[in-house]
Amino acid sequence: MNKKPDELVQDGLVSIGEAAEFLAVSRSTLYELMDQGRLPYAKIGRSRRIPRRALIDLAQLSLRGGHLVPIINGPTTPHVSPAERNGHRNGEEQTEKAKGPR
C-alpha cells in the first residue's frame, strides 16, 4: 500500500463504521490496523476517515487461497499444495512404508 496520498483519497473517504462493515471486522480491529501503520487514515477534526482505496488494497493483499498474493503478516513458509500437505507429491500416493501403521 505504497500509494501517494492523492491516489488514496481520489475514491473518497469513509467513516470507521463504514470501513468496519466493508471489511467485516470490528471497529477495534480497524483502530489496531491504523495504530500499527498498516491502514492509512485522515484525521479530520476529531474523526478518522479511511481512504476507500486503502480498504480495497488491504482486502486484496489479505486474500488467501486460490492465488498467490502477498499476505499481510502472514506465514513466511513457501506455498504448499493441499496434496503435499496430505503427504502426496506430484499426485503420487505414499508408499506403504511412508504411510506408517494402520
Q: What does the pLDDT look like over 5-64, one tens digit per residue?
A: 778 888 899 999 999 999 999 999 999 999 999 999 999 999 999 999 999 999 988 887
For residue 52, give Cα distances in angstroms to 38, 45, 84.
14, 19, 38
Helices and strands (H, E) in the chain, number of each type: 6, 3
Q: Which amino acid is at 60?
A: Q
By CB neighbour count within 10 A (0-12 exposed, 13-18 middle, 19+ buried), where does 19 fall?
buried
Is pLDDT larger for residue 96 or for residue 59?
59
pLDDT of residue 4: 76
Domains in the chain, please, with CATH?
Answer: 5-90 (1.10.1660)
Q: What does the pLDDT look like over 78-87, one tens digit per residue?
A: 555 555 555 6
pTM of the model: 0.57
Residue 48, C-beta contacts closer than 8 angstroms, at least 6 positions apart: 16, 34, 41, 42
